[in-house]
Amino acid sequence: MKSLKKEIANTISKQVELDIAEIERLIEIPPNSDLGDYAFPCFQLSKAFRKAPNIIAAEMAEKLEKPLIIDKIISAGGYVNFFVNKGNFASAVLKGIAKEGAGYGRSDIGNGKTVLIDYCATNIAKPFHIGHLPTTVIGDSLNRIYKFLGYECVGINHIGDWGTQFGKLIVAYKKWGNKEEIEKNPIKELVKIYVRFHDEAEDDESLNDEGRAAFKAIENGDSEYVQLWKWFREVSIAEFKRVLKVLNVEFDSWDGESFFTDKMEPVIEELRNKKLLQESQGAQIVDLTQFDMPPCLILRSDGATLYATRDLAAILYRKEKYDFHKVLYCVATQQNLHFRQIFKVVDLMGYEWANNLVHVANGMISLETGAMGTRKGTVVYLDDVLNESVSKAMEKIEEKNPKLEGKEVVAKIVGIGAVKFSALKNKRMKDSVFVWDKVLNFEGETSCYIQYTHARICSVLEKTDFSKELDIEYELLTDDKSYEVIKTLALFPQVIIDAAEEYEPSDISKYLIDLVQSFNKFYHENHVLSSEGKLRDSRIELCKAVKIVISTGMGLLGIECPEKM
Ligand code: ARG
């Protein structure tokens, strides 16, 4: 069952030569329900049909074939008005959900297409901080959404594990590093010596030269330095994996920047052969003035490659390896220019699939205390935020439901879900401020509110007798509140498609908030367990459908819903 508007647009499209999407856009909701539930204005057809709108409307109303979910179609002035058969509509929607269960909304539109999703991409020896939250959860959610739509998905963690900073880190380690401490607390210790390096380098420029030389040594394969670099990389990755596990975020590939060090030469060659490389002050660049962009730097004057060079190598490698339909780069808006530049370079190289490279940009998260910076020591580790959220969730549970079984597990699901949802609920480009009271609230527009509604439905269902088949009469679900819930349920499949097309998991978050709000109004007004017979059974059926959609929707956001909380 499609949404009502879609069904009606579909019916109309059989009569008028207009695109379904256009018809859908034109359909209005009449101000007064005596005029029907939906109305299609015929004014814009008048010219093409060479008839007055009211005549067109009258003829259309006469000719249109009525689908089961429509009771009557009449014309009024220049409008065609549609009256929904709410009972049939409820039946179509709820039967569909009952039949498909957790697969409701699934599709095969992506079959045979591979989508690569590049997200998280933290940097070795640097904190996995709250700023990485959006890229990580948005990427993970898009991964889940695209899979649900039938695409083959490859999640890639393009970690930052190459560059001069590793030379500096080695110098810092040799001066002040402590192996045991690093083993115990890798990132925090490595950050400490890295920050110290920068502080001391302010007064002693020679340190930077030493750093550069050390990186050269890594590049040249100096075994001691390579060993150290590998070790920093290993301990950092182990730490990232630990946090990712808490977040329930996984990757298919960890090919980071260093993976591409030996794959850049051919790309540089190709750029040269295609006459795209130019020399500028000793460096090799691709000039982009014509496109209103600064040049894309490919080789520095000392011959070193750059972030962009490695990304270009990665693009060509990925095309070859996966023959992707699209690559989604879930990376903060600060890198807008970088992606515009490298996508343009790929385009200039003559690859027409350059427009299948998408920068799925996200805004910044800040804390109430203000912006943060690794060097200033004001960085907020994501791990600390997750732990704090879980303990705050635990406090809430102790307050609301102290006898709850498996409290620890529930507190984890609720606490972690709350942090994830905070980065999934607004349009991805929007900057946001992380405020505890807003994130962990059982009433506002939060994941706790959605999870709480889900648990409430589970407790209703738990009190029903599953061995008996329900005796449902869909006609009993036509009151305003039930109708509102059913209309919302019918929208779900399209919401998933829209979220994928716009790369906007927040569409699903917003939808889920709407769904639970309409459900809670229904639940407030209609007794479920205390009503009787067919009415009780029909309402139970509605509850079951809502539970399914909440849990599938939250699953697409990468958030679990406990049965009790
Ligand atoms: N490591 C980079 C950073 O922290 C992000 C990498 C994003 N992915 C990519 N293919 N460029 O800024």
Residue 119 Cα to ligand 1 midpoint, Å, equals: 8
Atom of ligand 1 nearest to the CA of 331: 7
Three-state SS string over 340-396 comes to HHHHHHHHHCCCHHHHHEEEEEECCEEECCECCCCCCCCCCEHHHHHHHHHHHHHHH
The reply to whether the predicted model has a pTM over 0.90 is yes
How far, in Å, from the CA of 104 to the mean position of ligand 1? 35
At residue 370, the pLDDT reads 65
Which helix H or strand E contains 300, and what residues bound it? Answer: none
Q: Do the Cβ atoms of 416 and 246 come closer than 8 Å?
A: yes
DSSP string computed for 395-408: HHHHHH-TT-TTHH
CA distance 400 to 256: 45
C-alpha to C-alpha distance for 314 and 357, rounded to whole angstroms? 12
Encode pLDDT of 469-518 as tens digits. Answer: 999 999 999 999 999 999 999 999 999 999 999 999 999 999 999 999 99
Specify the ligand 1 atom closest to the Cα of 332. Answer: 12
**Residue found by looking up tokens 């006459």 in the block:** 275
The pick from 264, 331, 359 for probing ligand 1's pocket by mutation, whose C-beta has the most ligand atoms within 8 angstroms, reads: 331
Pocket test for ligand 1, best of 118, 296, 335 (most atoms within 8 A of CB): 335
Residue pair 105/493 in contact (Cβ under 8 Å)? The answer is yes
User: What is the structure's pLDDT at 373?
Assistant: 61
Residue 421: per-residue pLDDT: 96
If one residue of 119, 136, 158 were mutated to test the ligand 1 pocket, choosing by the most ligand atoms within 8 A of its CB, it would be 158
Name the stretches of the chain with pLDDT < 70: 1, 370-378
Question: Per residue in 36-74, pLDDT tens?
Answer: 999 999 999 998 889 999 999 999 999 999 999 999 999
Contact 73, 38 (CB under 8 A): no
Q: Which residues are catalytic?
A: 126, 129, 132
- Ligand 1 neighbours by CB, cut-off 6 Å: 118, 121, 123, 158, 160, 311, 329, 331
Q: What CA–CA distance (Å, rounded) separates 292 from 309?
A: 20
- pLDDT tens readout for residues 352-407: 999 999 999 999 988 777 666 655 666 889 999 999 999 999 999 999 999 999 99
Residue 280 token pair? 């500028």
Residue 230, classed as helix, strand or coil, is helix
- Which domains are seen in the chain, by residue range? 4-84 (3.30.1360.70), 163-247 (no CATH), 382-557 (1.10.730.10)
- Tokens 């009790």 belong to which residue? 564
Which residue intervals of 204-323 are DSSP H helices?
206-219, 223-247, 264-273, 307-322
CA of 362 to the centre of ligand 1 (A): 13
Amino acid in the structure at residue 88: N
